[in-house]
Structure 1
Amino acid sequence: MDINHNEMDHIIHLCACANIRKAARIITQVYEKKMTPTGLKVTQYYMLVNIARHKKISISQLGDIMLLDQSTITRNVNILKKSGYVNIIRNINDSRAKLVSITEIGLAKLEEATPVWLQIQEKVENDIGKEKYKDLMETLKMIQESISLNDS
């Protein structure tokens, strides 16, 4: 099969996966840089938000919510535990499962980091416009649902 240069450019330009990954990496880099003073990575911040929201959550449930594999979740939860932001206990109903909950120190870290996150978020929304941002979120949700439905 011979693919010419123009066809390759067309493929690269239209590839949903490549373009979404590129945008996600750029956005992640900006969030990471701005979040540096808080000592949290974006994933850890998002993880703390989810743990706080659910009070006690299993590592596997957290992975399902964040669409991250068990090893990534476990590694980040352990970092958060070492920092004193979360507690990890065995689930009394299932000794194989661990439950994660946020500590007072973790809540204080969230209170410190949230204004920084909000500033970044507001800048993104303002830079592209509130309406376009809303459309983007709806489009991303539709893509996720479409891929998930067609993938099954």
Structure 2
Amino acid sequence: MAAVGLKTTQYSLLANVARGALPVAELAERLGMERTTLTRNLKPLADAGWVATRPGADSRQRIVTITESGQVKLGEAYLVWCGAQQAFEQLVGRDAVRALHTQLETTLVQLTPLIEDLNHAHPD
């Protein structure tokens, strides 16, 4: 990701923002993180001009959107990401990559109830 000036976590965040404008709280919930953490992670993207926030229906609500330059940056990063994915697959093999994805998906399914319980026990 360094070739396009994005960390992997920033790429993921930018890709999620690109899916559609959302309030900060809703985006944080979708990503499984606290609002304060999300706000801190959005700051470098906003400073770079790749995301913007606007007022929501309520004066306390902020809606996160991707900017035109953010769309361009995401497109550049996507090409780098695809190249990295292909190189990884060539290195370890397609079957190993599929097995890894399956294991990650299984683990996420198993962890989701625990994460949800923790989020409800410790809201922002």
The answer, yes or no, to whether TM exceeds 0.5 is yes
* Counterpart amino acid of residue 95 in structure 1: S
Match of 1:144 among 101, 106, 111: 111
* Residue aligned with 2:60, SS: strand
Match of 1:87 among 41, 47, 52: 52
Alignment partner, residue 40 of structure 1: 6
Alpha-carbon distance between aligned partners in 1 of 2:3 and 2:100, rounded to the nearest angstrom: 26
Q: Looking at secondary structure, tell me which structure has more helix per residue.
A: 1
Please list every run of 5 or more consecutive structure 2 residues that lacks an aligned counterpart in the other structure: none
Distance change in 2, residues 1:132/1:46 (3 Å)? same
* Counterpart amino acid of residue 4 in structure 2: T
RMSD: 2.3
Distance change in 2, residues 1:131/1:50 (3 Å)? closer
* Counterpart amino acid of residue 55 in structure 2: R
Aligned length: 116
TM-score normalised to structure 2 length: 0.78
Task: Name which structure has the greater RCO, CA cutoff 8 Å, separation 6+.
Answer: 2
Distance change in 2, residues 1:149/1:52 (3 Å)? closer
Alignment partner, residue 115 of structure 1: 79
* Residue aligned with 1:95, SS: coil
Percent identity between the two aligned chains: 32
Alpha-carbon distance between aligned partners in 2 of 1:120 and 1:147, rounded to the nearest angstrom: 31
